[in-house]
């Protein structure tokens, strides 16, 4: 029997710094005991795939926890700070010099990334591991895409192929056998079809919404689990440490939810006995995606958390999510009092700003904050119109408010 029919293949999309998401996905898969024997990647996905194929999980976690722009590019010290690109008046001279140097060598220096790969990856170990590894790149010299598996790569050139797959436009172009190469994401940023052509039918995809050519996968005849970042954040060259850590964590949570180990729509809730929530009135309308879910507690908690802006990149129990909602509600109530205490612009000015924010959909705070301001500042008829406008912007509002009312409603005798 062909091993590929039963083995899992993990497809890793491109997306620069956002590749830390793949590390979180991989951690979740290992915790769930899901064995993966093949890895196919584009761009940063190809690099991460190399570490996974080698079994270098600790090294991958370490890189994810410490990586900065200076780990990827050879930049003057004046242009980096805490792993991020720094551009200010004091660094303009260094920026101009970098531009001249980049033009002369036809691309940004990627030698730091090459050093990491050369010192952390063992090509022989990968070839002997029994795991499958494939990457996609583009032969820039001949203007042809190349989908290459490790056994097709010339001995000693694995790092070159990984660099070729991740040669982002503007980076220097790696050369293999006299041919220049550029980022594989420009041809197929999530190389799902490459895994299918290889014969895999049990496929897991980790898609980080990277820039490039994103083809719609044909999943017919396969068992495919598609994991995609559920929150839009960061960019391909965003090396802010808070973002990187959060996006890594998001990959872990999204993977767990994709395999049913966590519940939720916008949040991540551990399965368990759901609390009984008694509403003071008729059941509220829920967002369309929730309407057929029988877990009333989950729906109410999610809606309340959403309208309060409770932190999403976190695993909650029903009880801890309820506690987070109470804490955030208290903080928002305090903020509302502070807003109303500011008298400089007067009542008319506050009302005008409130109407403008809601009608133009430019909310600078959570929906609950605006709901409470509407209650406090507008007469009943005008307030009802603003509430309808708010609910159109955030369909979670009616159910979220119903839950919050249940927390303060008197207990029936």
The 10s digit of each residue's pLDDT in 127-161 is 999 999 999 999 999 999 999 999 999 999 999 99
Q: If pLDDT is split at 50, 70 and 90, which confidence band does 412 have?
A: very low
Q: What's the mean pLDDT when you consider all of the chain?
A: 90
- Per residue in 67-97, pLDDT (tens digit) is 998 898 876 676 667 776 666 655 555 556 5
- Per residue in 156-187, pLDDT (tens digit) is 999 999 999 999 888 989 999 999 999 999 99
What is the per-residue pLDDT for 195? Answer: 97
Cα three-residue angle 6-10-12, rounded to 5 degrees: 160
What is the per-residue pLDDT for 92? Answer: 59
**C-alpha–C-alpha distance, residues 136 and 165, integer Å:** 6
**Is pLDDT above 80 for 243?**
yes
């Amino acid at each position: 029997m062909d091993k590929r029919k039963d083995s899992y293949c993990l497809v890793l999309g491109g997306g620069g710094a956002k590749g830390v998401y793949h590390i979180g996905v991989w951690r979740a898969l290992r915790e769930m005991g899901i064995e993966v024997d093949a890895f196919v990647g584009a761009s940063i996905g190809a690099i991460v795939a190399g570490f996974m194929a080698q079994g270098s999980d600790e090294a991958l976690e370490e890189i994810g926890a410490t990586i900065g722009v200076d780990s990827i590019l050879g930049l003057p010290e004046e242009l980096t700070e805490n792993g991020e690109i720094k551009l200010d008046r004091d660094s303009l001279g260094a920026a101009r010099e970098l531009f001249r140097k980049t033009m002369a060598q036809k691309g940004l220096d990627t030698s730091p990334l090459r050093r990491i790969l050369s010192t952390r990856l063992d090509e022989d170990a990968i070839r002997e591991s029994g795991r499958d590894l494939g990457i996609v790149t583009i032969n820039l010299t001949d203007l042809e895409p190349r989908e290459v598996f490790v056994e097709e790569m010339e001995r000693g050139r694995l790092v070159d192929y990984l660099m070729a797959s991740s040669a982002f436009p503007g980076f220097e172009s790696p050369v293999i056998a006299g041919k220049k190469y550029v980022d594989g994401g420009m041809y197929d940023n999530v190389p799902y079809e490459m895994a299918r052509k290889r014969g895999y039918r049990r496929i897991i995809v980790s898609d980080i919404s990277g820039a490039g050519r994103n083809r719609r996968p044909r999943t017919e005849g396969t068992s495919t689990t598609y994991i995609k970042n559920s929150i839009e954040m960061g960019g391909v060259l965003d090396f802010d440490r808070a973002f990187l850590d959060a996006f890594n964590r998001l990959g872990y949570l999204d993977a767990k939810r994709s395999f049913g180990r966590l519940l939720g729509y916008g949040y991540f809730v551990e399965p368990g006995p759901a609390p009984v929530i008694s509403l003071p009135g008729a059941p509220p309308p829920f967002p369309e995606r929730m309407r057929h879910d029988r877990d009333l507690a989950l729906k109410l908690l999610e809606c309340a958390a959403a309208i309060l802006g409770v932190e999403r990149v976190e695993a909650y129990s029903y009880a801890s999510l309820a506690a987070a909602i109470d804490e955030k509600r208290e903080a928002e109530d305090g903020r509302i009092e502070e807003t109303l205490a500011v008298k400089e612009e007067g009542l008319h000015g506050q009302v005008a700003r409130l109407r403008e924010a809601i009608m133009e959909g430019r909310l600078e705070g959570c929906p609950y904050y605006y709901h409470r301001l509407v209650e406090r500042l507008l007469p009943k008829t005008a307030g009802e119109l603003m509430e309808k406008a708010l609910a159109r912007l955030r369909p979670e509002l009616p159910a979220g408010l119903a839950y919050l009312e249940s927390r303060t409603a008197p207990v029936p005798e």
